[in-house]
Amino acid sequence: MTTTRFAPSPTGYIHVGNLRTALMNYLIAKKAGGSFILRIDDTDPERSKEEYVDQIKRDLEWLGLHWDRLERQSERLDRYAAAADSLRDMGRFYECFETPTELDLKRKKQLNMGRPPVYDRAALALSDEDKAALRAERGDGHWRFKLNHQRIEWEDGILGPLSIDAASVSDPVLIRGDGQVLYTLASVVDDTEMGVTHVVRGSDHVTNTATQIQIIEALGGTVPQFAHHSLLTGPQGEGLSKRLGSLALRDLREQGVEPEALLSLMARLGSSQPVELRMSLDEIAEGFELSQFGSAPTKFDVNDLFPLSARVLQATPVEDVRAEIEALGVPADRVETFWRVTRANINTRNDLAAWWRMFSEGAEPVIEEEDREFVAEAMAMLPEGPFDETTWGTWTAQVKEKTGRKGKALFMPLRKALTGQSHGPDMGDVMPLLQTVRARG
């Protein structure tokens, strides 16, 4: 069965870049009728926070990206210890004692000599006595996986055929000196034991993939199909990594971005298909093809989300927003009219509150000097509220009769006096919502 996973580390809020990864994995599983796992990569007890785990779940739920299974790496430490034992038994795991400063120095020397900064495997030459002495002096060492120095090749679902020379990569550290299991090992054990068939992640993981393939093979697992999507950049191609913090999903939600807008954009951005607004994940999944994504960095402009969000709102039935509108104080029997009138005149649902304020508290009237007398005369004829659907028609007919004004000269000053704006929704619809008229003077 097709099985995919989204594996965030709960060390921060997830952002648009993470969403791209989550969505691609979700859509692959969905399209194949397979299973989508939410895996919390929380082997780092210091940086992982429960608050982030909760927010990750809320973000995914908000988007409708339901997971079939939830896994937490912190609950699987015994599995990783078992895998580490197997690697040790095979002679593919060795303990090292270099300090970060020593490693840094080695790297600098290599770079100075024009060589790639690959770990020199000095620890392989340590005798048992050497290690015991170092352990006594420095505490437990960190453990590296011994790569086989050959080419590691795979057919990448996005990047095509890839090959990395293992000799150009340092033996990866899988367990730290303090015993903490690192992501590379935990991820491989999970992918293997959970039957993950497809792994899509950012292209910053390409080198990890090479080493992970060797670890999977050493542990006797089946290598999943890997695909690496390009990283997002800003609209001018500038790196986004520093700004991603401000592109957290929960912030976008707060700014009024609609989930359908976000999903429609992220499911197509960077692919050969145009971005089209889709109102459900089923529809988004239908046209989704991983192979249509390119390797070039993908430009992302947060401003593209707002026109799409406005279109989502225009297609949103009143039932989906009723509770929210009533919470603003709109009387139940006015909710439908309120939504019909406002939805074509808002960018995000956050704008609804301002509209209701305008209706309930009355707008600051805008009255041109030459209309002052006319507006005063008209206001004197405006019936007491509450207004209904017929108010505008009846009232303006009477004003026309009395003043002789017609067309734009009649309607525009009255619209501006009542709403403070020169355009907006149909005034026949506006009147039943209007609770206060400040222009009465």
CB of 44 to ligand GLU, least distance (A): 10
From residue 256, give the alpha-carbon distance in Å to each of 54, 250, 271, 351, 363. 21, 10, 26, 9, 24
Nearer to ligand GLU, 228 or 405 (CB): 228
Nearer to ligand GLU, 36 or 338 (CB): 36
Which positions touch ligand GLU (CB under 6 A)?
7-9, 41, 183, 187, 201, 205
Look at the block and give the residue holding tokens 């420095």. Answer: 138
CB of 84 to ligand GLU, least distance (A): 18
CB of 252 to ligand GLU, least distance (A): 19
Burial class (CB in 10 A: 0-12, 13-18, 19+), 194: middle
Look at the block and give the residue holding tokens 């796992």. Answer: 37
Nearer to ligand GLU, 198 or 278 (CB): 198
Nearer to ligand GLU, 12 or 287 (CB): 12
**What beta strand segments (E) does 230-299 contain?**
232-233, 298-299
Dihedral angle over CA of 334, 339, 341, 344, nearest 10: 180
CB of 176 to ligand GLU, least distance (A): 16
CB of 205 to ligand GLU, least distance (A): 6
Q: How far apart are alpha carbons 76 and 74 in whole angstroms? A: 6
Q: How many CB atoms lie within 10 A of CB 199?
A: 23
CB of 182 to ligand GLU, least distance (A): 11
Nearer to ligand GLU, 20 or 30 (CB): 20
Nearer to ligand GLU, 43 or 342 (CB): 43
Q: Residue 437 is encoded by which pair of tokens?
A: 């008229």
Q: What is the CA radius of gyration of the chain?
A: 31
Nearer to ligand GLU, 189 or 414 (CB): 189
Find all residues with CB under 8 Å of 294, minimum gap 6, and list them: 158, 230, 270, 271, 272
Dihedral angle over CA of 394, 395, 400, 403, nearest 10: 150
CB of 163 to ligand GLU, least distance (A): 20
Nearer to ligand GLU, 41 or 371 (CB): 41
Nearer to ligand GLU, 80 or 356 (CB): 80
Nearer to ligand GLU, 159 or 414 (CB): 159
Eight-class DSSP state of 114? T
From residue 220, give the alpha-carbon distance in Å to each of 37, 87, 182, 215. 22, 11, 20, 9
CB of 314 to ligand GLU, least distance (A): 36
CB of 14 to ligand GLU, least distance (A): 9
CB of 143 to ligand GLU, least distance (A): 20
Nearer to ligand GLU, 7 or 263 (CB): 7
Q: String of b and e for 51-81 (b: at least 16 CB within 10 Å)?
A: ebbebbeebbeebebebeeebebeebeebbe
Q: How many CB atoms lie within 10 A of CB 368?
A: 12
CB of 200 to ligand GLU, least distance (A): 8
CA 25-208-147 angle, to 5 degrees, is 140
Cβ-proximal residue to ligand GLU, closest one: 41
Q: Residue 161 is encoded by which pair of tokens?
A: 């055929």
Tell me the β-bridge partners of 245: none
